[in-house]
């Protein structure tokens, strides 16, 4: 969940509320009152601190220049991009409190010809889209300037997916001259002084220079290996930016900037539009003509022109019955009230003639509203969850635990009583851990994550051994023997299911000591089978005699020698129940133990417990 940091006194002043708080003085009552407001609106007051304490946590040392201002850290929903800055947060809360009406955002064409952005065909191979807008006669002060910069950073981390999908460039329009061109050139041909630097560098030199920058170095791989880099020029061949990495120093924004040129480059046009609209909507309130934005004409490769931004509202429709029945508010939530409370969420509702549907006008700031369920949720928030009277639904069903979960809980208790310690690991692991570390080839059976954030979370595990061995490795200094177990899900690809994958509930146990202890892990298997009512095959010779003819035949199990690269040759067996393989046990291969840096021999057991339901 994104966190927005705001100064309490500035926030209260804009809201028109102070709840008894005095400037720069902690006030528990004010914190509690604002926390209640946040809860009702669907956000959360995460922390109350001071700027001085924040600096201390970030740097590890006190900063005498830091102020004693009270700071609120507020968690907002990840899809509410309009709440990622002080301006949007205050605006939404004031509308929710009925202190102001939702603003009307306007695109105002100037007397002069529109500024143009001309797109070269070469950019199609690297970053094909660009959208633009201009904020005219804007007034910056230290507070809103900082908010302007921070909103860009939060959008970059959120919807922009760390600039891979979208990147934002903002420039002082008075320092540059249109028409502008969006091109893609070899790195050596691009020369400019990057932001906050006076030295002119070409593209290759810039990459070397920024590789030392802790903030920007993580974005370099987006374009570094490309034969051409995207670049934006003005009519005098002054570089505005090298998206998605850095802006030029020539056109940087300052407190004295009066006209802001915004350019958004992207690989996803829809997200580029959303980001542009959010930037314009949030800070157009500081323009001389409030909530007005000047458009820019973008000339595409094929010669077609587009005018950006598009700040028009869109319309959705939702059934009144669906909204009221989903919320369960009863007769108190009438159709008229449904339409009325939507205004508190910056939406405009209008009932159809038969009052069975509500037509909702959605502003550009609410890109999160995609379905009737989003409208229903906003109605519930505005109506107030505390106003919904609890009722017992009419039903003839009886709630009970799922059989698989009940079996899992019973087995957890039994295995724990045998002396094993239960662990709970993450379901994701690296591809290397899932296959190479277990001496197995990558057979493509694992469900892979399309865009893993780290190398440790590439695939869903296909064996619980991965996590249990990592746990043993991290605790190898504990006194021996170490007994660990886990009962959880593994995931496999399955084309027969609607999602292309299936879960399977497994039990896995590990015994680690000075000796391998195969007999110990075998003993655990026997105990589990006794608990499940499954008999050893050799002890069930009278299973089908006449005395037991009226009884249900008992289930039988056995173990059969087998080979598997994860286990030591000749020291591994399959667990067979009623003629079907349900798991394995054996002594782990030394190469597997070496991969996890475990210096002691280990035995392991892994069975599928779904076979015993």
Task: List, run by run, the mean pLDDT of 10-residue segments along the chain (613 residues).
Answer: 92 92 91 95 93 74 73 94 96 95 94 94 94 96 95 95 96 95 96 94 94 92 95 96 96 96 96 97 96 96 93 94 88 90 93 93 95 95 89 75 93 95 94 93 89 88 94 91 95 90 95 93 94 77 46 80 90 92 94 93 95 89
Cβ-based neighbours of 100, under 8 Å, separated by 6 or more: 91, 94
pLDDT at 397: 76
pLDDT at 72: 94
pLDDT at 452: 86
Q: Is 287 helix (H, G, I), strand (E, B) or coil?
A: strand
Domains of the chain: 3-96 (3.30.56.10), 106-308 (3.50.40.10), 314-387 (3.30.56.10), 403-541+552-612 (3.30.930.10)
Which stretch of DSSP H or E encloses residue 559?
strand 555-561
CB contact at 8 A, 184 and 126? yes
Q: From CA 79, how far away is CA 63, in angstroms rounded?
A: 34
- Nearest alpha-carbon partner for 191 in 201, 206, 181: 201
Q: From CA 186, how far away is CA 174, in angstroms rounded?
A: 28
Q: Find the DSSP H helices in 460-536.
A: 465-474, 518-532
Q: From CA 593, how far away is CA 472, in angstroms rounded?
A: 10
Q: From CA 182, how far away is CA 171, in angstroms rounded?
A: 15
Q: From CA 266, how far away is CA 481, in angstroms rounded?
A: 56
Q: What is the dihedral of CA 155, 156, 162, 165, to 10 degrees?
A: 80
pLDDT at 97: 94
Q: From CA 156, how far away is CA 149, in angstroms rounded?
A: 11
Q: How many residues does the chain have?
A: 613
Tokens at residue 391, please?
A: 């009722």
């Amino acid at each position: 969940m994104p966190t927005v940091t705001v100064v309490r006194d500035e926030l209260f002043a804009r809201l028109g509320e102070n709840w008894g708080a005095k400037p720069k003085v902690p006030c528990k009552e004010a914190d509690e009152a604002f926390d209640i407001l946040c809860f009702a609106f669907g956000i959360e007051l995460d922390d109350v601190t001071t700027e001085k304490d924040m600096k201390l946590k970030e740097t590890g040392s006190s900063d005498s220049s830091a102020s004693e201002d009270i700071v609120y850290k507020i968690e907002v929903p990840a899809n509410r991009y309009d709440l990622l800055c002080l301006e949007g947060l205050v605006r939404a809360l004031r509308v929710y409190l009925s202190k102001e009406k939702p603003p009307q955002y306007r695109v105002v064409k100037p007397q002069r010809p529109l500024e143009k952005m001309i797109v070269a065909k070469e950019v199609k191979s690297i970053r094909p889209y660009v959208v633009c807008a201009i904020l005219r006669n804007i007034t910056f002060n230290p507070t809103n300037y900082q908010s302007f910069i921070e909103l860009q950073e939060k959008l970059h981390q959120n919807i922009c997916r760390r600039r891979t999908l979208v990147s934002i460039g903002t420039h002082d329009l008075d320092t540059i001259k249109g028409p502008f061109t969006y091109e893609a050139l070899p790195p050596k041909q691009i020369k400019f002084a990057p932001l906050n630097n006076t030295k002119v560098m070409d593209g290759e030199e810039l990459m070397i220079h920024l590789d030392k920058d802790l903030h920007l170095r993580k974005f370099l791989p987006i374009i570094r290996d490309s034969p051409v880099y995207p670049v934006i020029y003005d009519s005098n061949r002054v570089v505005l930016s090298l998206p998605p990495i850095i802006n030029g120093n020539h056109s940087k924004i300052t407190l004295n900037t009066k006209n802001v040129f915004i350019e958004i480059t992207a690989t996803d046009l829809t997200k580029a539009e959303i980001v542009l609209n959010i930037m314009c909507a949030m800070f157009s309130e500081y323009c001389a003509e409030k909530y007005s934005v000047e458009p820019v004409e973008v000339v595409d490769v094929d010669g077609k022109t587009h005018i950006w931004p598009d700040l028009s509202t869109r319309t959705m429709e939702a059934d009144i019955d669906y909204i009221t029945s989903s919320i369960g508010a009863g007769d108190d939530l009438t159709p008229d009230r449904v339409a009325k409370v939507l205004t508190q969420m910056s939406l405009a509702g209008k009932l159809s003639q038969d009052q069975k549907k509500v037509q909702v006008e959605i502003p550009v700031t609410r890109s999160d509203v995609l379905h009737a369920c989003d409208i229903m949720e906003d109605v519930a928030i505005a109506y107030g969850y505390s106003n919904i009277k609890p009722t017992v639904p009419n039903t003839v069903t009886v709630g009970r635990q799922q059989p698989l979960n009940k079996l899992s809980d019973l087995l957890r208790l039994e295995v724990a009583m045998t002396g094993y310690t239960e662990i709970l690991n993450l379901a994701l692991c690296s591809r290397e851990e899932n296959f190479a570390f277990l001496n197995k080839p990558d057979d493509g059976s694992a469900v892979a994550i399309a865009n893993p954030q780290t190398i440790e979370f590439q695939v869903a595990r296909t064996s619980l051994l991965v996590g249990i061995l990592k746990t043993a490795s991290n605790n190898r200094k504990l006194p021996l023997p170490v007994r660990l177990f886990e009962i959880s899900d593994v995931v496999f690809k399955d084309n027969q299911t609607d999602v292309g994958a299936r879960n399977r509930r497994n039990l896995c146990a590990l015994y680690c000591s000075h000796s391998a202890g195969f007999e110990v892990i075998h003993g655990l298997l026997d105990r589990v089978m006794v608990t499940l009512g499954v008999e050893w095959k050799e002890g069930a010779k009278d299973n089908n005699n006449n005395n037991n003819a009226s009884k249900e035949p008992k289930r039988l199990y056995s173990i059969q020698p087998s080979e598997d690269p994860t286990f030591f040759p000749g020291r591994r067996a399959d667990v067979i129940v009623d003629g079907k393989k349900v798991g394995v046990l054996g002594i782990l291969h030394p190469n597997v133990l070496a991969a996890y840096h475990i210096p002691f021999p280990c035995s392991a057991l892994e069975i599928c417990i779904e076979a015993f339901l």
